[in-house]
Amino acid sequence: MTDVPVSTRPLAEPQATSESQHGRLDSAALGLPSVLFCIVTGAAPMTAMLFNVPVAVMGGGYAAPAAFLLATVALTVFSVGYIAMSRRVTSTGGFYTFISRGLGRITGVGSGVLIALCYIIFSAAVIGVMGYFAATSVEEWTGVSVPVAVYMFGGLAVMSLLAWFHIELTAKVLGVLLVSEVLVLLVLGVGVLIDGGAHGFSAAPLNPGELFGNDDATKVFGSAAAGVALFAAFWSWVGFEMAPNYAEESRDPHKIASRATYGSVIGLGVFYMFVSYVYVTGWGLPESVQAVKDQFAGKFASAFYPLSDRYVGSPLTTAMEVLAITSSFACAMAFYNTGARYLFSLGREGVLPSVLARTSRRHSPIVAAMTVSAVVGLYVLGFVIYDSSAEGALLKLGTWSPLLGVLGILAVQALASAAIIRYFLTTARDGFHWFATLVAPVLGGAAMVGACYLLIDNRTVLAGAEDVPFITYLPWTVLAMFLAGVVISVVLRSRSPEKYAALGHFTLADPDVEDAAGEPAVAVS
């Protein structure tokens, strides 16, 4: 099939073509709500609350809401510089493009390969979580036991099918699932607030000082680590940074990226603080810690379920069980989409095979998406061979893999902070602002470095596994993925200087014209 350029077309009416396209996505596909659906479902509010709140309680006791408060502040500060950069650089390459512009092509390509792999790994990990809940819930409801692998590969098949369609369809699916899980958690919260909780209301859970040396956590778990609580909070936001990756498909990319990023960071922060406060208030401050220990001991699947039974009723608990499955699917789909867009960007610029930049008639990055499907399938298959049980899908695939992905993303965010500072001190001095492009990135970068340290230092506790090579060599695996991109860029610099010069410098400002080779023109700035 011959590649043809995308013609200039009105934003309101994307023109369908009879052939697949190369190098361009639909520039009018998504409005602000759709972008928010795509990125907030990556944070997966239901999944984040059901799993990260207990981890935060394990580390910080009833002060878990304070951990979410501190993370909200840190990520909002980080977002200031991130948004300033996104207003100058509009590309589906996201972090890859930002870091290339600020720290150079070699560091940018290393970061691009790392972040693309991290999102793909995240997609596989959350498919494992989805498979666990699907297998255990269906068996509980029907008595029929189906291998967890069937649910995992079935979910991947549905994601692959959705990738063939216009991104707007995926956004609508994600939107319905997101609204449902938020409503259910809000109903639980209202029920607890109306009843007054177990012992009334207290401001202590929102006091950051209560995170350190929390006596209730120490009494129940024998020790408490504020670092575990803070890491669990940061973990809950993974996916908020996706807005620039959808810039090329947004109707007004500069405004939408800003509003979507701030909206997701602050909105999720308020929501997480509310739900975690409802959790500790519903159980009672000391009892909320014991409930987590009971969950880890297998007394119930989630410490939230007894709360919904007590304050609202069993129908809400059933709804939460169903949404635990759909929330995981939506989360995996969001990571799947972002991973595909990173591969698309890297293929378009020649870092990876150019075929990855081919799009479908509906302007979706179809080759990149099918590549994600293949990689995720093989990754999941490896874990199924290692441990085919439902518990293995959750405790190994669904727990070990996110640690790898989160470490990579936090490291890239730290590099992005440095890139923002250098970019506005050199290339874009006219846009320099003492707080937005200097102080905020310094503070945000420091927070990311601190979070990386917390993850590495506490990785055996977070994974629930010691002396496992996957966990032991976690930091070195992340470094190896970064160095793979560095090697690719160095080879390109030697063998193809012209292609190397264009790395990380694709921009939407370029006209839809072809160069002599028949490819869309790319300006190098």
Catalogue all structural domains in the chain, each as residue range(s) with its CATH number: 21-386+409-501 (1.20.1740.10)
**pLDDT given for residue 451 in this prediction:** 85
Surface-to-core class of residue 512, CB atoms within 10 Å of its CB (0-12 exposed, 13-18 middle, 19+ buried): middle
Residue reference for tokens 């193809």: 496
Among residues 450, 441, 436, which one has the least CA distance to residue 415? 441
Residues 301/333, Cβ–Cβ less than 8 Å: no
Pairwise CA distance, residues 270 & 453, whole Å: 25
- Give me 417's structure tokens: 């902070």
Pairwise CA distance, residues 11 & 139, whole Å: 48
> Which residues of the chain are under the pLDDT cut of 70?
1-43, 90-93, 166-174, 223-224, 239, 241-257, 362, 506-525
pTM over 0.85: no
First-to-last C-alpha distance (Å) of the chain: 32
Helix, strand, coil shares of the chain, percent, nearest 5, are 75, 0, 25
The helix (run of H) or strand (run of E) holding residue 359 is strand 358-359
**pLDDT given for residue 59 in this prediction:** 87
Residue reference for tokens 């061979």: 385
> How does pLDDT run across 410-423, given as a tens digit for each residue?
899 999 999 999 99
In angstroms, what CA-CA distances link 44 with 99, 145, 317, 332, 413?
27, 27, 18, 9, 20
- Give me 504's structure tokens: 């990380």
Surface-to-core class of residue 507, CB atoms within 10 Å of its CB (0-12 exposed, 13-18 middle, 19+ buried): middle
**pLDDT given for residue 252 in this prediction:** 58
Surface-to-core class of residue 106, CB atoms within 10 Å of its CB (0-12 exposed, 13-18 middle, 19+ buried): buried
> In a 3-state reduction of DSSP, which class is residue 218?
helix
Residue 21 DSSP one-character state: E
The helix (run of H) or strand (run of E) holding residue 22 is strand 21-22
**pLDDT given for residue 251 in this prediction:** 57
> How does pLDDT run across 217-259, given as a tens digit for each residue?
888 887 667 888 888 888 788 767 665 555 555 555 556 667 7
